[in-house]
Amino acid sequence: MGDRQKKTVLFEQLARVGKALGSGKRLELLDLLAQGERSVEHLAAAAQLGLSTTSAHLQVLKQAGLVTTRRDGTRVHYGLAGLDVIRLYEQLRNVAGERVSDVGRAREDYLASGRAAGAPGEQDEVGRDELLARVAAGEVTVLDVRPVEEYVAAHIPGAVSIPVEELPRRINELPSGQDVVAYCRGAYCVLAYEAVDLLRAAGRTAWRLHEGMLEWRLTELPVDTGPGLVASGVAARLHDQ
Amino acid sequence: MGDRQKKTVLFEQLARVGKALGSGKRLELLDLLAQGERSVEHLAAAAQLGLSTTSAHLQVLKQAGLVTTRRDGTRVHYGLAGLDVIRLYEQLRNVAGERVSDVGRAREDYLASGRAAGAPGEQDEVGRDELLARVAAGEVTVLDVRPVEEYVAAHIPGAVSIPVEELPRRINELPSGQDVVAYCRGAYCVLAYEAVDLLRAAGRTAWRLHEGMLEWRLTELPVDTGPGLVASGVAARLHDQ
DNA sequence: CTCGTATTCCAAAGAAAACTAGAATACTGG
DNA sequence: CCAGTATTCTAGTTTTCTTTGGAATACGAG
């Protein structure tokens, strides 16, 4: 095999990873997996795809080495192969956001949807270090507003889970007299914006954590898994089961 | 437009960048562009592609925002849109090298080709800081062994250019009594390995710079452009023209 | 203005990838 | 071992991407 041919083979191999990133559906699956492990069925539902289609896309991601599988009884859990994959995904979003004007627009458009009309454009945010300090001081409640499955897969230690769609009727479960810091998936996730709007409308003091689970994982700060705290009413509800 | 639809649009936009990375040919073009600006014709020749094909691929890269064009008279020079694009490309290679076993193998295979049989597996390398220190002390000659066009597009300040295929007959142009540090494109480039083999076979003391132009640019250290130094015999040759 | 050169655009053919429904497989729990 | 469930595989259809050669365009030189 000639030099030239070897070079072509090498680039063609690299392109397998590129190809894996070359489909909106697959990026959506990666985005979901950045929150934590999930079963095929679950991913299909979350991404609104057929089961066979989802499985096929996951195979492509697996061939490219971006995800790994773990069999748990009758179901297969997919997860990201490592932090470098999150970094690659993040870098892709950075470049796209910076270089493709349509991406910036689509992002703004998406983030604006679902928020109360007239809501402030930029909500007050807290950074990671500030959050950790205020948590240590016992000043704030950390609120995870993602779907429960994602909370179970991985969440910030000490955070309570109230999915944003349940927030209006469960807002009283949050300990009163404490400020709330809400977080969701990451920079491209709208849930925490909505949550802060809801909380403020209810008279609470609330901020958005500047980063989401995706960025949190990149820092290699610890995460908790499993049911954890489901807000103040948790004891009673767990008892019912 | 519904929430769901907006989300799909957003991911589909992100996927444009992914798609651009999903072809071996395009990655090869990016790799060439990481060395500096180049014309379409030149890129086509270097990547061994048809002119129309090359143009089409470059359009895809441009649509994805990864490259920009600069018109210079009758020809168009393509260049990377920014350092973040190099970072993205590097991260892609990292993940691929780490996660896809075939990539590691293809890379080894490619890097081994063209080198003298029985050559040592790992050549002594110098890092960037060591290089800068020894250059400042006037101890070493920095040798750029890439094709002349790439040297012209961008090179390490003070480096002399002898493309590796001309090295055997031009080795005497290098100032004697000085050690040589050779560099080429980057981690996936074989030229500097070959050059060090050649230099050592000729009795010179030579090292490989651990990084190439790609990694050098990422550090934001200065680069020079233009003809620059073409080794000691340059004055005579320039005079001939 | 015309010619020559560099690049892009266009249309058609061939190749690769995506989606779908249904069959096959792998595992659990009884 | 059997039934039930989660996932993967298969095959056919449709869509998208790649390549190619030739026409069109943009520019500079004369």
Nucleotides of C under 7 A from a protein CB: 4-10, 17-22, 26-29
Judged by C1' against the alpha carbon of A26, the nearest nucleotide is C18
Instruction: Give the global pTM.
Output: 0.89
Cβ under 8 Å to A: B residues 121-180: none
| Structure token digits, residue A106 | 């689509």
Please enumerate in sequence order all residues whose Cβ is within 8 A of that of B138, keeping only pairs 6 or more positions apart, or say none: none
The answer to whether A88 touches B14, Cβ cutoff 8 Å, is no
pLDDT at A125: 86
pLDDT band at A105 (very low <50, low <70, confident <90, very high): confident
Cβ under 8 Å to A: B residues 111-130: 113-114
Nucleotides of D under 7 A from a protein CB: 4-10, 17-22, 26-29
Residue type, B157: P
Residue type, A90: E
Place of tokens 């050098």: B216
Question: Average pLDDT, whole number, for chain B?
Answer: 88
Residues of A identified as active-site: 184
CA distance linking residue A44 with residue A32, whole number of Å: 11
A108 touching chain B per CB within 8 A: no
| Structure token digits, residue B219 | 């550090």
Residue B133's Cβ-side half-sphere holds a number of Cα atoms within 13 Å equal to: 5
The answer to whether A33 touches A80, Cβ cutoff 8 Å, is yes
CA distance linking residue B63 with residue B69, whole number of Å: 11
CA angle A218, A130, A104 (to 5 degrees): 55
Q: What is the pLDDT of residues A132-184, one digit of tens each?
A: 999 888 889 999 999 998 998 999 998 999 999 999 999 989 998 889 999 99
pLDDT for A117 beyond 70: no
